Amino acid sequence: MIKRILVGIDTSEHARTAQAYAFHLARRLGATLIGLHVVDIVSIEGSLLHDISGSLGLEPYLDFSSKMREVLNARGATVLDEFAEAARREGLAAETMLDIGVVANQICERAKAADLVIIGHRGVNERFSTGLLGSATESVARKSPRPLLVSPTRFREISSPLLAYDGSDRAARAMRAAAELCVTLATPLIVITVARDMKLGQRTLAEARAYLEPYPLQAEFHLIPGHAHEGIIGALREYDADLLFVGAFGHSRIVEMVLGSNTEYLLRNAPCPIFMSR
């Protein structure tokens, strides 16, 4: 049962969308919100200091660290005040936290006291990053001790979730989360299994059908031939899904470096939010 939702807050468009999803789910689930803003220690002491300080209007070369800390703390407090006020207007219970440190580490530490973590694809410092996925987001996706929802740029009310089930333990936990959330939200659930071995795929999909049968929800099941990452993205588009349930990273970091990761591919390419279970 999801009763405490931790949401990462900054001034980026991605964070605003993450907040919208957090509010939507908190309202439907009767959950308490925890708004967390992390002052990134890298922004204060890292090699990008001069560029960031210039964007904040600080005079170059004058005690960067203390001035940056003061300005970023004040900005973070303002962001959290706005978050708390928005929650009050929506009649939602909320608390706020302001931390300083490595963003991903602080989010994962605070996640221990939450049931679900919600963050955006990219953060406020995305212009200093490369690729389509923020480095902090990728790190949280790998290390979060709680289920994680990664939101896209635009909010869309959840009404057509999709579960990608491959028979793994992590996918089984994602299936349980999908069943419970869909029952609470009163939405149907699309279940897919993507496989190159059709007999194995049929057995895997039958497992999902048997597990979900006792739940009072409308579910449909589809077996899709091919590779997992491509089949899942294709299914999201075909069925116009607005939330993907999936097991989190399933291989060791070394294997992923060599072979790539289905989860990372989905994070980079899914047109909807991704709910990852561990």
Structural domain count, the chain: 2
**Do 22 and 63 fall into the same domain?**
yes
Q: Distance (Å, rounded) from C-alpha 32 to C-alpha 95? A: 8
Buried (b) or exposed (e) across 70-93, using 16+ Cβ within 10 A? ebbeebbeebbeebbebbeeeebe
**Do 165 and 65 fall into the same domain?**
no
Residues 166, 228 contacting (CB under 8 angstroms): yes
**Domain of residue 263, residue span:** 161-277
Tell me which residue of 157, 87, 144 sits closest to 116, measured CA to CA: 144
**Do 237 and 127 fall into the same domain?**
no
**Do 131 and 188 fall into the same domain?**
no
Query: What is the structure's pLDDT at 42?
Result: 76
Do the domain assignments include residue 55?
A: yes
pLDDT at 207 > cutoff 70: yes
Query: What is the structure's pLDDT at 13?
Result: 92
Do the domain assignments include residue 266?
A: yes
Domain CATH number, residue 184:
3.40.50.620
**Do 104 and 216 fall into the same domain?**
no
| Residue ending a domain, choose from 151, 185, 217 | 151
**Do 28 and 119 fall into the same domain?**
yes
**Do 167 and 232 fall into the same domain?**
yes
Do the domain assignments include residue 16?
A: yes
Q: Distance (Å, rounded) from C-alpha 159 to C-alpha 243? A: 8
- Tell me: the pLDDT tens digits for 155-203? 999 999 999 999 999 999 999 999 999 999 999 999 999 999 999 999 9
Query: What is the structure's pLDDT at 255?
Result: 39
Query: What is the structure's pLDDT at 277?
Result: 92
Q: What is the mean pLDDT of the chain?
A: 87
| Residue ending a domain, choose from 128, 151, 174 | 151
- Tell me: the pLDDT tens digits for 31-74? 999 999 999 887 666 544 445 545 555 555 445 578 878 888 99
Do the domain assignments include residue 255?
A: yes
- Tell me: the pLDDT tens digits for 126-154? 543 444 445 788 889 889 999 999 999 99
Do the domain assignments include residue 260?
A: yes
pLDDT confidence band for 267 (50 / 70 / 90):
confident
Do the domain assignments include residue 34?
A: yes
pTM for the complete prediction? 0.87
**Do 173 and 217 fall into the same domain?**
yes
**Do 98 and 140 fall into the same domain?**
yes
Query: What is the structure's pLDDT at 128?
Result: 39
| Residue ending a domain, choose from 151, 177, 195 | 151
Do the domain assignments include residue 51?
A: yes
**Do 12 and 140 fall into the same domain?**
yes
Domain CATH number, residue 140:
3.40.50.12370
**Do 42 and 94 fall into the same domain?**
yes
Do the domain assignments include residue 156?
A: no
Q: What is the average pLDDT across 94-116? A: 96
- Tell me: the pLDDT tens digits for 227-243? 998 999 999 999 999 99
Residues 111, 242 contacting (CB under 8 angstroms): no
For the chain, give the percent of residues with pLDDT over 70.
Answer: 83
**Do 62 and 144 fall into the same domain?**
yes
- Tell me: the pLDDT tens digits for 107-132? 999 999 999 999 998 655 554 344 44
Query: What is the structure's pLDDT at 278?
Result: 79
Query: What is the structure's pLDDT at 67?
Result: 80
Query: What is the structure's pLDDT at 41?
Result: 84
Describe the strand order of the beta sheet including 243-247 as a list of residue ranges. 94-101, 32-40, 4-8, 116-120, 148-151, 274-277, 243-247, 161-164, 189-195, 219-225
Q: Going by DSSP bridges, is the β-strand pair 274-277/148-151 parallel, antiparallel, or unpaired? A: antiparallel
